[in-house]
Structure 1
Amino acid sequence: MATFKKHIHAMSAYKPPLDGRDPKQHLLLDFNERTLPVSNDVTQAMIDYIQAGRLQMYPAYGDIDSVIAQYCGVKPEQVMITNGSDQGIDLIIRASCVAGDEAIIPSPSFAMYHQCAKIENLNIIEPQYSREEGFPLAGVLAAITPNTRIICIANPNNPSGTGIAREGIEQILIAAPHATVMVDECYFEYSGLTVCDWVERYSNLVITRTFSKTWGVPSLRLGFVISCQENIQALLNVRGPYDINQLAVVAIRAALANPEYTHDYVQEVMQQAKPLFEAFLTGCNIPFWPSQANYIWCFPDNADAINAALVAAGILVRPKADANGQVGLRVTIGTLEQTQRAIAVIQTAL
């Protein structure tokens, strides 16, 4: 006899298509990851820690909150590290909501918002993004009710790359003072979009970020939450004392102390490779969503054939259907050379 909550059994697991991915065989343009290895400073820091004979010890995070806070321009007491930003999302929703509450999740968006909301048995309202209008600000504002407890905003959004202006976020914060407004800034280094300077102004603002994307260590699982001190203290009451891998903390200390490898990569992706790919799509009359991130969701007429050609050439992208069922390809932008390689294959398939 099942003893778990009935709605949990009725759910489906979030299963990203990770099988068969091999960086030695494939150019991985399917998960918005960094497409180059991390710097030697990062790998050497982890090697040194392992060789120091400390793996048998429980994690001790030291002043990592202060290090991250300095990078973000906030106070140490306004930061909490998490096991990837996924844990931050889960903790925020759990701490904000009870079964039957309403969650506003503009869609399509990151699947973890829906997964965590469904675990808490929330009623989900989904104002729709559009390629023409972008973020559905009017729809979100219209959906706010006294039962709204969480509003999830990906800035920029995944899979579309759509950004929302600070003024729009402020309208939502003011319109829903009784609800947590979670702004996911997972792709901040690419977009430059942030409202972290508002955490003292709006007590209902909670921000999630990660070191998985730009900094290139998704396998180590380190994210963080930024909010006012009262919210961070409450979330620390929910997070476990040892939830974060010690090696992740070691790696990020080294990464933040030697940020050039990230800054140089971001510059090449956003200033060289991405404009090249956008110009290629425009020249081929292939529709795509305007993106402020390191990926582009495009809709060629023969998306399935192009995807097959890319796979045959050892390049993986992410097929994703829009709200109307039209299949598009979400393509991560890598280096200039990697982008040129992808363009050549798509050009031939066209």
Structure 2
Amino acid sequence: MSVFKSHISQMGAYKPPLEGRDNHQHLLLDFNERVLPVSPAVKQALIDFINDDQLQVYPAYGDIIHKIADYCGVKPDQVMTTNGSDQGIDLIIRSACREGDEAIIPGPTFAMYHQCAKIENLNIIEPAYSRENGFPKQAVMDAITDKTRLIVIANPNNPCGTPIARNDILDIAKAAPEAAILVDECYFEYTRQTVCDAVEQYPNLLVTRTFSKTWGLPSVRLGYIISGKDNINALLNVRGPYDVNQLAVVAIDAALANPEYTQEYVKEVIEVSKPMIEAFLDKQKIEYWPSVANYVWVFFKQPSLVEQKLKEANILVRPKMDSQAKLGLRITLGNKQQTTHLIDTLASVL
């Protein structure tokens, strides 16, 4: 007999396909990561910290909250840091929901939302995105009941890259005042679309972001939550005092002081690489979902074969099924040179 809750033992762990990934061998277009190294300033800050012999000291976070708040255009008391945005998602769901509550999670989407909801044994309602209509706003609104305690809105959504209009998000927040509206903006730098300026007006609004994607720092794990002051204070009661490691803070401090490497990368991905891959797919008459992020969800006639051939060419992509169990390949976009290589390889495979 297990000492744990019965539904926990019956769950499956979220296991991303990390085995065999090697950025020195492969072009990693499978995890929506930044595919170029971080700036020398970030590397040097980490080296200097280690050489200063501070690893044996507990973290001290200094003014990092003020710097993040300044970057986001919000008040410092509306921000808290987390161990990656995954922890922010988990903290919000754990703090807002009880067993048996209802969660509305439009899908298909990022697996961590479901994982955290299942840990709390929530009843999940999953309205479906579609290529033609995008975000299922009306289905979400229709699903709201007096048992709804969580609505997840990934803006843009992963794996399809679909944006959600600001007014749609605020309409949902207004329609479900007793529910936590978790808006995941982890690809914010690509879209510049946000509702973080509305957290004071909508006390049920909670925004998660990360330094993993465009900033290229997933290995050090730093995300953050933006919400009303009372929400942040409540969540700080749940988060541990040292959950964010000091190396993450050192890296992010240097990254925010040197934003050019992120801004230039985003510009090349969105203005150069994305039009290149879209033009290629259009010419080949291959179906894909319109995306506003650094990835495109492509539906080849033989997706598994295309994935295998790309892998043989040391290019990794991510298989993802739509709500009708149709298999597509989510392909992350890199810089112009990497995208040219991807297109040349796809051309030979097709």
Separation in 2, partners of 1:210, 1:317: 22
SS of 1:167's partner is helix
Deviations 1:290-320 (A, max 9, x none): 1111000010112122111111111001011
2:62 is matched with 62
**Residue type at the aligned position of 1:267:** K
Deviations 1:209-248 (A, max 9, x none): 0000000010000000000100000000000000001000
1:298 is matched with 298
Deviations 1:68-119 (A, max 9, x none): 0000000000000000000000000011000000000000001000000000
Deviations 1:164-218 (A, max 9, x none): 0001001101100111100000000011111111011100000000000000010
1:94 is matched with 94
Offset at residue 51 of structure 1 (A): 0.5
SS of 1:142's partner is helix
SS of 1:207's partner is strand
2:105 is matched with 105
Offset at residue 325 of structure 1 (A): 1.8
1:321 is matched with 321
Q: Does 1:282 align with 2:282?
A: yes
**Residue type at the aligned position of 2:101:** D
Separation in 2, partners of 1:102, 1:325: 24
Separation in 1, partners of 2:314, 2:95: 43
1:84 is matched with 84
Separation in 1, partners of 2:121, 2:101: 8
SS of 1:344's partner is helix
**Residue type at the aligned position of 1:314:** N
Offset at residue 280 of structure 1 (A): 0.7
1:29 is matched with 29
SS of 2:145's partner is coil
2:180 is matched with 180
1:240 is matched with 240
Q: Provide structure 1 residue ranges, at least 5 long, that are not aligned to the other structure.
A: none
Q: Give the superposed CA RMSD.
A: 0.6
- TM normalised by structure 2 equals 0.99
Separation in 2, partners of 1:267, 1:21: 26
Separation in 2, partners of 1:325, 1:122: 23
Report 1:173-212 matches (<5 A). 173-212=173-212
2:132 is matched with 132
**Residue type at the aligned position of 2:335:** T
The total of aligned residue pairs comes to 350
Q: Provide structure 2 residue ranges, at least 5 long, that are not aligned to the other structure.
A: none
Offset at residue 324 of structure 1 (A): 1.7
- TM normalised by structure 1 equals 0.99
1:46 is matched with 46
**Residue type at the aligned position of 1:70:** D
SS of 1:331's partner is strand
Separation in 1, partners of 2:324, 2:196: 35
1:122 is matched with 122
Runs (4+) off by over 2 Å: none
Separation in 2, partners of 1:242, 1:134: 39
Offset at residue 333 of structure 1 (A): 0.5
